[in-house]
Structure 1
């Protein structure tokens, strides 16, 4: 106990020194994690590549690796994955998708042993979702995900030879980059996302599900040694594809999560609200000043009117007295007719004086006159209106990168012809629901759904894309087949009905899209 009493204060002093350090660690932002939806979407374009031979009626697997789609029927893998098939004409290359369709055969388009790359083309349409390649990938640090079909997982699952010909989702493993490494005469990336035999040829992905490398081999590890793995970098991959007439989807924009964007949008909306409040307060102050100015003007005018009325009444009374005096004099001198005229004039003057006195404006008229002046000025201001270009007509919509999340290839500028009834470019009718104009696009040859919206007030055009599995797409296509889009010019009721029908499809979509493109539109020319 005595020894414990001696050490405990020392421990407290050590802890007191450590607490500031811990506080600093907690203040450092944590690294962004990969969006699971992006990784799942990219994994649907990953395939198992099986080298097979024909044994009578039976197809026997010889070896397998991994590949990924760079086009609906074009696949990248490692050269060493297909080396056996290249050397032996009796061997064939089978492509097993991760989602939906049945396995098909492939032919070799190009092989580059120098940088361990190969390009395959399927012999039958597969409609594979192409992966996007990062045009400006991180090479020194950052989170990465390796996707593939490691054999040790197959063995652990007890998969038979027949099982590998069935569509199965690939294995996803995470790690970090450890830098670029020129290896075996080609440029490669070193990373710690575990791969194994069978993972070769699979993609190495960033947090947005974009390809930054093609997994190739691992470093030999001795017991407790750290494990590192190598991927062929995009510096090798992109020239290889272009040399073989393949134009891949390339995206070089920073990787941002939808959650980050939505947080930024909330902050932006809050800033706009504060600006609107400040503008409203400024307008209210200006209105209060104008009311005070008008009140002073009206009060001065009313005082002048009251003074003029009083002066008129007094003048008329004096005239009445004068006329009465002349009438009395005329009566005394026997001018009866003149006396009658004088008394008549005096009576008229008295009545006029009474009316002038009664007709003076009262102080209670100030409020009414003030309201009338304000209404007149506001009506004139509304008639002048703000100098804003009309929304309808030809516009060019420009991408706003800081508000967008681009995972594929995005157009920087989009021509956009909007009509007041919700028709775009003269051929596409948008639906109107809950104050929003939108069009849901469900293609038959692509496993994705796009939701395009336009706000005529702010001139903001949005394109949101959801990358979905085949089962979800089948449900959405079935729901879309239940109704037809109206033609342009069908009328307000048709666009409202169409908006309500589209809501059924929106209900089937995930909470967040994989891609969001925000455009700001302005009048063309």
Structure 2
């Protein structure tokens, strides 16, 4: 596979994750102080699992117990405003919390309740505070809608933290990712990111996510029934390939039916032409015979002339029907659907290669 094809496949894989990121929100805690007024106390991440319902970590909203003046603000990734949230349920053991948005709509994500592949590719989506600091975002800017951050890694096995079922993964996380979803290549929730293992020197970093086996019972206890699936993940490139094959088969079936209709029309035209030719030839022959005996038969001249004229007309009509019968050229000239798909893919690869060349030229110019 060429480098451009690999690049296109990788970008296609991320499309589902990019779409899933639109369902991820920032869960901000706003405190009120008589002297300072409202200020950002802290934040985490969350994800919509049903209309108006957000799941996050219990430790993200833990400060609510300390003061009744603390409020929850749900900041979506799109739009121009944040919304008030109300805590519905919390489970400190599973480190899960459920929040209801008082207003606004965030599209919920599908929850995968099957067994994830042991080394499956995953993505952590959320709002890491380190990125906010790197971008020098002010407190007011952090409670405005901005796109969530996506980091990719792979599953490294299931681990139980005491009595909690978790997923170990290598997708990079930071403070602020807590409560955000861990999704598979299809953008489906397989866990809720909870905490990470601190790296020392050259140690690898790992993250822990509360698995769906904990999420579903927690939501059911809160009388929430999220949309779930156990079907295996079919990445976008594979889905597109299957859809292209199905479309190609459908196009081939339509083309076969069109060809059959053309063949039937050609056969009918040929039968009509032969019938006209035979009848015309018989009338022409009869007319000639009638003209030959016109001296003995009083009406022979009239009938012979009429028969000859009609016969010639029918013979001419048979040739016209034969020549004007439906042709196969226009149907056979159309490329099969599979070839058309292949041509489109080749064109996409060519465009990608030209883009790569253009990027290289721009980098070279920048270096100069």
How far residue 369 of structure 1 moved from its aligned partner, in angstroms, is 4.9
**Aligned pairs (5 A) from 1:235-384:** 235-251=213-229, 268-313=246-291, 317=295, 320=296, 349=297, 351-361=298-308, 362-363=311-312, 365-369=314-318
Please give the TM-score of this superposition, normalised by the length of structure 1.
0.51
1:22-71 CA deviation, whole Å, 9 max, x = no partner? x8999999965566665454434433334454432324544432222334
Q: 1:64 aligns with which of 20, 43, 47?
A: 43
C-alpha change, 1:354 and 1:255, in structure 2 (3 Å) is same
Q: Give the secondary-structure state (helix, strand or coil) at the position aligned to 2:59.
A: helix
Asked if the contact 2:191/2:212 (under 8 Å) is kept, the reply is yes
Q: Give the secondary-structure state (helix, strand or coil) at the position aligned to 2:70.
A: strand
1:78 counterpart residue number: 57
Q: Give the secondary-structure state (helix, strand or coil) at the position aligned to 1:95.
A: strand
1:481 counterpart residue number: none
Moved more, 150-159 or 77-86: 150-159
Asked if the contact 1:143/1:176 (under 8 Å) is kept, the reply is yes
Moved more, 212-221 or 352-361: 352-361
In the alignment, the residues of structure 2 paired with residue 252 and residue 368 of structure 1 have an alpha-carbon distance, to the nearest angstrom, of 67
1:197-225 CA deviation, whole Å, 9 max, x = no partner? 22111111233433221001123433222
The yes-or-no answer on 1:118 pairing with 2:97 is: yes
1:188-245 CA deviation, whole Å, 9 max, x = no partner? 2222111112211111123343322100112343322222211111221122112202
- Provide structure 2 residue ranges, at least 5 long, that are not aligned to the other structure: 327-368
In the alignment, the residues of structure 1 paired with residue 270 and residue 79 of structure 2 have an alpha-carbon distance, to the nearest angstrom, of 74
The yes-or-no answer on 1:49 pairing with 2:27 is: yes
How far residue 315 of structure 1 moved from its aligned partner, in angstroms, is 5.5
Q: 2:203 aligns with which of 225, 230, 235?
A: 225
- Provide structure 1 residue ranges, at least 5 long, that are not aligned to the other structure: 1-22, 321-348, 379-525
How far residue 112 of structure 1 moved from its aligned partner, in angstroms, is 1.5
In the alignment, the residues of structure 1 paired with residue 30 and residue 306 of structure 2 have an alpha-carbon distance, to the nearest angstrom, of 111
How far residue 77 of structure 1 moved from its aligned partner, in angstroms, is 1.0
Question: How many pairs were matched up?
Answer: 321
Q: Give the secondary-structure state (helix, strand or coil) at the position aligned to 1:111.
A: strand
How far residue 359 of structure 1 moved from its aligned partner, in angstroms, is 3.2
**Aligned pairs (5 A) from 1:372-451:** none
Q: Give the secondary-structure state (helix, strand or coil) at the position aligned to 2:157.
A: strand
RMSD over aligned CA atoms reads: 4.1
**Aligned pairs (5 A) from 1:119-158:** 119-122=98-101, 124-136=102-114, 138-158=116-136
In the alignment, the residues of structure 1 paired with residue 236 and residue 119 of structure 2 have an alpha-carbon distance, to the nearest angstrom, of 22
C-alpha change, 1:181 and 1:29, in structure 2 (3 Å) is farther
Asked if the contact 2:47/2:180 (under 8 Å) is kept, the reply is yes
In the alignment, the residues of structure 2 paired with residue 103 and residue 289 of structure 1 have an alpha-carbon distance, to the nearest angstrom, of 70
Q: Give the secondary-structure state (helix, strand or coil) at the position aligned to 1:230.
A: strand
**Relative contact order: is structure 1 or structure 2 higher (C-alpha 8 Å, sep ≥ 6)?**
2
How far residue 353 of structure 1 moved from its aligned partner, in angstroms, is 2.8
C-alpha change, 1:249 and 1:364, in structure 2 (3 Å) is same
Asked if the contact 1:144/1:176 (under 8 Å) is kept, the reply is yes
Please give the TM-score of this superposition, normalised by the length of structure 2.
0.69
Asked if the contact 1:101/1:126 (under 8 Å) is kept, the reply is no
C-alpha change, 1:140 and 1:29, in structure 2 (3 Å) is farther
Moved more, 271-280 or 240-249: 271-280
Q: Give the secondary-structure state (helix, strand or coil) at the position aligned to 2:177.
A: coil
Asked if the contact 1:34/1:143 (under 8 Å) is kept, the reply is no
Larger Rg: 1
Q: Give the secondary-structure state (helix, strand or coil) at the position aligned to 2:205.
A: coil
2:358 counterpart residue number: none
1:195 counterpart residue number: 173
